[in-house]
Chains A and B, each alone.
Chain A
Amino acid sequence: MENKSTRSLYMVPYIIWIAFFVIAPILLVLYYSFQDLNGDFSLTNYQNFFTPIYLEMTLSSFWYAFLITLVTLLFAYPTAYLLTKLKHKQLWLLLIIVPSWINLLLKAYAFLGIFGTYGMANKLLEAVGIGSRQLLFTDFSFVFVAVYIFIPFMILPIFNSLDKLNPTYLDAANDLGASRWTTFRRIVFPLTIDGVKAGCQITFIPALSLFMLTRLIAGSQVITLGTAIEQQFLVTQDWGMGSTIAVFLIIFMFIVMFATGTKRRRARG
């Protein structure tokens, strides 16, 4: 008796947390997504979502998230690979991670200076002879800064899976006469695909929902789903529409997680 009651007692805070901060918020978002501006039940928000404006926005949001993920991956993979070859690799890894602990806002703010009209990037361009350009408030700067911010989170899982790779596989491939490219394509990459998937998942979902970067760096050039949600909730005050976009974002999130996570879960179970 005593055993049971004390056990359930210490469970209380955690269960309250799950009920109020995990389940309730999702249900509330779902509930609000069916409300129009007058607070009546309706499907107008969903109808609105399937108009060209929102579909186009969703598409461009996906496009940017895809682009950011791809570029991040292209830079992260070789870096992670080189890292595993270094002598003090754990220390180097820590050095890669440290910038990710610096407040995101400050890093974004730094790029305001770097990409500004008279900033360092433009000085560099002038020195090379290309001449200065408008860099801030373009989609280029948006992708660049986003990649900068996400790259540690991509390197980490890839590094972990590369580090676990058994080197005898490489020797075997080598002995069997595989070229370096073949070895990479047929052995290294497939064996580290889980790290790549984890990295893509960590990059893609936040990239879909970035809103402060778009505001600060991209100006009005880029609108992501995140920006739209923020706009609906805090500027337009149309919580219904905001919730509807949020519902779709959650659905997309589950699709992405499903696409990038199935193998790992199966392997574990």
Chain B
Amino acid sequence: MFALLYLPIFYLIFYSFNSGGTMYGFESFTLDWYRELFQNTRLLIIVLNTVVIALLSALISTIIGVLGAMMINKVRSHRAKDSLLSLNNILIVSPDVIIGASFLILFTIAGLKLGFYSVLLSHIAFSIPIVVLMVLPKISEMSPSLLDAARDLGASRWEVMTKVVIPYITPGIFAGFFMALTYSLDDFAVTFFVTGNGFTTLSVEIYSLARRGISLDINALSTIIFLITMVIVVIYYLITNRTKKAPDVEVYK
């Protein structure tokens, strides 16, 4: 099972060193594809776009998500809380195609030109609920007496927020940020719908390349992506492990 799960990935990596131009029959070892990759400015710009979108959307959605989690936490009535949570979760359970299609309608009606901003906005939009889900358990497990104590000691609202609440929920915030980051990096379907002519992200580019057939550039690229993903996973693992008992991540898409 493990072998099978990793097989396609290592298959890609293996053939990225093939001097023959196909994924069949290994001829000899070469780094040509990597050289070609790094000379391909168009692709490098796309990589840059993807990273910028991921970082920006993760950052903004983390901020909005934390505020949202605080708001949900403040709601006392059970029914109101439940409906807020259902609204929050709609984008997580919705199929990507529907999110993409409905955002396409939304942006067109709003008169927003499809491109960088439409992609950024949609990535922020679908990352917010996941941040909320990561942060909410941390906020609700925080004991109210902690806040009372801070206030009794004369802390202002702002001080309570920055000195008590934020440090306490930091593990949740980090988990949310990293999840948002991976969601954004991984997304294909939504971006595919809301991206215009001039702007693409890596997933969309790989899709259009792959539809044309095999090109070992993609293999070289995927090797690099695999390594970067590994680094992110390790960082994420270290952070959640060190802070121990961060909310259990149910990774799904």
Query: Which of chain B's residues have a CB closer than 8 A to the CB of A111?
Result: 8
Q: Contact string, B175-189, partner A, CB cutoff 8 A, digits 1/0? A: 000000010011011
B101 A98 Cβ-Cβ under 8 A: no
Q: Which residues of B contact A160 (CB under 8 A)?
A: 248
Q: Tell me which residues across on chain A come within 8 A of B192, comparing CB atoms.
A: 212, 230, 234
Distance from B205 Cβ to chain A, minimum over Cβ atoms (Å): 9
Q: Which residues of B contact A (CB under 8 A)?
A: 1-2, 4-9, 11-12, 15, 22-25, 63-65, 67-68, 70-71, 74, 87-88, 90-91, 93-99, 101-106, 109, 121-122, 125, 128, 157, 182, 185-186, 188-189, 192-193, 202-203, 206-207, 210-211, 213-214, 218, 222, 225-226, 229-230, 232-233, 237, 248, 250-253
Closest to B101 in A: A233
* A110–B229 alpha-carbon span in the complex (Å): 17
CB distance from B207 to the nearest CB of A (A): 6
Tell me whether B2 and A101 are in contact (CB under 8 A).
no
* Residues of A close to B189: CB separation below 8 A: 211-212
Inter-subunit contact B12/A110 (CB<8 Å):
yes
- Chain A residues contacting B1 (CB-CB under 8 Å) are 75, 79, 96
Q: A25-B102, A118-B24, A242-B101 are in contact. Are A156 and B2 (CB under 8 A)?
A: no
B98-A233 in contact (CB<8A): no
Q: Which residue of B lies closest to A19 (CB)?
A: B87
A182 CB to closest chain B CB, in angstroms? 26
Q: List 5 A-B contacts (CB under 8 A).
A: A3-B157, A23-B87, A102-B225, A106-B12, A206-B95
Report which A residues bind B (CB closer than 8 A). Answer: 3, 6-7, 10-11, 13-15, 17-18, 20-26, 28-29, 32, 75, 79, 92, 94-114, 116, 118-120, 148, 151-153, 156-157, 160, 202, 205-206, 208-209, 211-212, 215-216, 225-226, 229-230, 233-234, 239, 242-243, 246, 249-250, 253, 257
Pairwise interchain contact A102-B229, C-beta atoms closer than 8 A: yes
9 smallest beta-carbon distances between A and B, as pairs: A113-B23, A25-B102, A209-B95, A14-B68, A110-B8, A21-B125, A118-B24, A106-B222, A105-B206
Q: Contact between B102 and A7 (Cβ–Cβ < 8 Å)?
A: no
| A29, A98, A151, most chain B CB atoms within 10 A | A98
Q: Tell me, in angstroms, the Cα distance from A208 to B94 when the chains sit together.
A: 11
Residue pair A29, B24 in contact (C-beta under 8 Å)? no
CB A168 to nearest CB in B, in angstroms, measures 24
The answer on a CB contact under 8 Å between B11 and A215 is: no
In the bound assembly, the distance between CA atoms of A148 and B222 in angstroms comes to 18
Chain B at the A interface: mostly helix, strand, loop or mixed?
A: helix
Q: Are B211 and A205 in contact (CB under 8 A)?
A: no
Other A-B pairs, 5, CB within 8 Å; known A29-B102, A98-B233 = A11-B67, A18-B88, A104-B203, A118-B22, A120-B24
CB distance from B83 to the nearest CB of A (A): 11
How close is B125's CB to chain A, nearest CB, in angstroms?
4
What is the bound-complex CA distance between A24 and B99, given in angstroms? Answer: 11
Contact present for B251 and A97 (CB under 8 Å): yes
Q: A79-B1, A215-B211, A234-B193 are known contacts. Are A105 and B233 too (CB-CB below 8 A)?
A: no
Which residues of chain A are within 8 angstroms of B65 by Cβ–Cβ distance?
14
A20 nearest in chain B by CB position: B106
Q: Are B211 and A17 in contact (CB under 8 A)?
A: no
Contact B233 A28 (CB under 8 A): no
- Looking at the assembled complex, report how far the CB atom of B162 sits from the nearest CB atom of chain A, in whole angstroms: 13
Tell me if A113 and B203 are in contact (CB < 8 A).
no
A108 to B208, CA, bound (A): 13
State the CA gap A94–B65 with chains docked (Å): 26
Known: A13-B64, A110-B9. A101 touches B251 (CB 8 A): yes
Distance of A211 Cα from B213 Cα, bound (Å):
18
In contact, B11 and A120 (Cβ under 8 angstroms): yes
Cα–Cα, bound, A120→B35 (Å): 26
**B100 CB to nearest chain A CB (Å):** 8
| Complex CA–CA separation, A132 to B251 (angstroms) | 37
B79 to A: closest C-beta gap in Å: 11
Q: In angstroms, how far is the closest chain B Cβ from the Cβ of A6?
A: 7
CB of A96 within 8 A of CB of B23, answer no
Contact yes or no, A216 B5, CB < 8 A: no
A9 to B173 CA separation, bound complex (whole angstroms): 21
Q: Are A110 and B11 in touch, CB under 8 angstroms?
A: yes
A7 and B74 contact, CB distance less than 8 A = yes
Q: A24 to B77, alpha carbons, bound, how many Å?
A: 25
Asked whether B4 lies within 8 Å of A148 as measured between CB atoms, the reply is: yes
Checking B5, B105, B186, B213 against A152 with a beta-carbon cut-off of 8 angstroms, the contacting residue is: B5
Q: A28-B106, A119-B23, A229-B101 are in contact. Are A105 and B203 (CB under 8 A)?
A: yes
Q: A17-B68, A96-B2, A156-B251 are in contact. Are A102 and B9 (CB under 8 A)?
A: yes
